[in-house]
Structure 1
Amino acid sequence: MNRFVYTSHPVRVVFGRGTVAAVPDEVERLALSRVLIVTTRSSAATADAVAAALGGRAAGIFPGAVMHTPVAVTETAMRLVAETGADGVVAIGGGSVTGLGKAIALRTDLPQIVVPTTYAGSEMSPILGETKDGQKVTQSTEAVRPEVVVYDVDLTLGLPPALSGTSGINAIAHAVEALYAPDRNPIITLMAIEAIAALTRALPAIVRDPGDVAARTDALYGAWLSGVCLGSVSMALHHKLCHTLGGSFDLPHAETHTAVLPHALAYNAPAVPEAMARLAGVLGDDPARALWDLAGAVGAKRALADLGMPESGIALAAERALARPYPNPRPLERAAIEALITRAHAGAPPE
C-alpha cells in the first residue's frame, strides 16, 4: 500500500429517525444560550418546532437563505446576529442554508449545528462558496466546519422525488471526485465507494416510492459519507465547473451538478484508470454513461440549457473555469473543456 495521510475531523453526527428532537440537547452540550435558527420558508415548520423546543435558547429565526450564498444575504443575516446577541447557529435545510450558516461562522466563529433536509453533504465539509457580482468564490477553512450535524431521515420524506434525485447525484459527485483526488487515501476511498453504492441504490427507489424509509435512510447515509469525502480531500474539474456555472448564470446548484457530472467524469476517465475500475464495480462498465442514465431515471434535466444557461455563455464558462483551476488529474485543455460544456449544455450523452 502506498504511503498516505488521513486526518479525522471532529464533527459530531447524530443519525436516525426523529433525531431533530435532539437539537436542544446538542445546544445545551455546546453550552449555548441564544442560537439563531437560519432556514428557508420551505423548512419553516421544522424551524418553528425547533424554536419552540429550544424555548428561551432560541434567539430568532432567519428564513432568508438562498442558493449560492450571496454576500448581501449574509450581511442581512449578520445584522440579526448582532441584534439578538446570538452565540450559536442552528441551520435547518439544504445546502443553501448550510452555506449561510458557514458564512456566519466565518465572520463570527460561532458554533454551528446543522440539520440537513436534503442530500447536499456540504454540512460535513470546511468548504464555503460565496457569490458576489456574479462570481462564486470558494474557500476552505476549518472555521466553517460545523460542530454538530443532526441527520433525521424523517425530515427527508417530504423531499420531492425530482429534487431528491438531483440532490443525491450532487452528493455522488463529491464521492466520485474523491476517488481521484491527489490527497486521496484508502479510508476516503472506502467511504466514497460505499456512498456511491448507497445513493445509486436509493435514488431510483425513492422516485418509485418517495415514502420508502429504507431508501431514504440509504440516501441520507450515502450523503453523509459523500460529505465526509468532500470535507476530507480536494475536489477537481467537476466542482470547479459547477461553481463557475452556478455563480456566473445563477443556475440551481444540485441540478447543475447532475447535468455536469457525467461529462466531467468522462473527461477525466483516461487519466484515472484505477478510479474508473472502482466505479465500474458499482456503476457498470461505463460509469460516466451510467451516471447520465441515472439522471434520466430520476427525472432530472440533463441539459444546462434547460436550467437557464445561455449558449452564449459556454466560452465564458470555459474561460472562468480555467482562470483559477482546481487540481485535476487530466490537464485542462480549452477546446476540450468547451466541448465538455457544449455537450452538457445540450444534454447529450457523455463522450
Structure 2
Amino acid sequence: MTDTQKNDPDLVPTHTTAAAISVARWVAQHHGLPVQQCALIRRGLNDNYAVRCADGTRYVARLYSIRPRGGFNVDFEVALLEHLASKGASVAAPVLMADRRTHVQLQFPEGLRALALFRHAEGTTPDTLDDFDLTGRALAHIHEAARDYVGPPSRYTLDGHHLAGRTLAYLKVYPELNEDLLETYRRLVHRLLEELTAAEDGLTRVVCHGDTHGFNNHVNTDAAGIKKTMFFDFDDAGPGFLAYDLSVLPRSYLFRKSLKEPDDALRERWMHYLRGYRAGGGGVSERDIAALPLFVQLRHLWNLGEAAGRLHHWGTNSAPVDWLQKQVDMFEAWKGLDLRA
C-alpha cells in the first residue's frame, strides 16, 4: 500500500477555481438571497458565476483573482457603479451585502480573494452598426456621469506606468526570453512613453471604463421595442485618457482579425461608434483622434503584460516567446493607423 499525505508541504497553490455550489452558498450567506442556480461563466482575469434566484432574478458573482499589479480595486469599482447608476448611466449595478458592505474577503489556499455581486446585463454583445452607435452613446454618458464622482479613489491610474511600465517589468522575468527580444521591448516601451509624454498635456481625461472592447456591454430590446445597452466589468476602471478608452475597441478587432490596418467592417463600426459617442455628448478633440494609434499600441502592450504577468495562473502558452516576437511587427504597423472618422 502506498502512503498518502493530505497536504504536501511542497505544494504552493497559485489559483483555485471554486465550485459553483460554494459560490451559491456564499451569495446566500452574505447577500441573503434565495439562490436557486449557480454556474461558472468563465475563468480569466477574474472568475465569474451566473446566479439565478428563486424569483428568476439574475446576477453575476465575481471572485476577484490575485493579480501581480496589487490589491483589489473593488471599493472603487462598486462606489463608481453606484454613482453612475444614480446618474442614470446604463451600468450593471452592484448588489450590496446584507450588512451593506461592498464585498466579502474569502480565504483561499493562495490567499484572500474578494467576492462581489452585480446585476445581470441582459442581451448580447454589439453586432449591428446601430448597436455600435448605441454603445458609443452609452460610453459618453458614463464618462459624463463620472465627472463628479468623489468616492474611494481607484488603485489604478491608467497612465504610462500602468499601461507599459508594468509590462516591461513582467517581461524582465519571463522565462526563456532572450536579451535581444527583451531589448526590443525596452526600446518599444521607451518610445511609447516618450510619445505619451509629448502628447498627454493636450489630451482629454476621463474616468475610463478600461476594457471597452465590445464584449463588456450587452444590447437588449425592451418590452416597448426600444434598444438599450448596459456596460459591466469595471474592474479595470480608473482615471486616464479618453483616447485610451476609445482605442480599446478598434485594437480588439485588429488583434482578433490579425490585421495591421482597419478593414471595411472595422471602419464602419468605428465610424458609428465614434458618431454615437459624439451624439451622446462626448467631446473628442483632434488631438484625441491623433493619439489613437499610440493608445492602440499601449492597449496591446497592456494586454500582453496581463498575460506575461499571469504565468502562475495561465502559463507561458498564453503568451509564447515566438508570439511575443511576432507582436513586434504589429506594433510597428499600428504606428501608422488611420482612425479618423
Q: TM-score, normalised by structure 1?
A: 0.32
Higher helix share: 1
* Max Rg structure: 2
- Higher strand fraction (1 or 2): 2
Provide TM-score, normalisation by structure 2.
Answer: 0.33
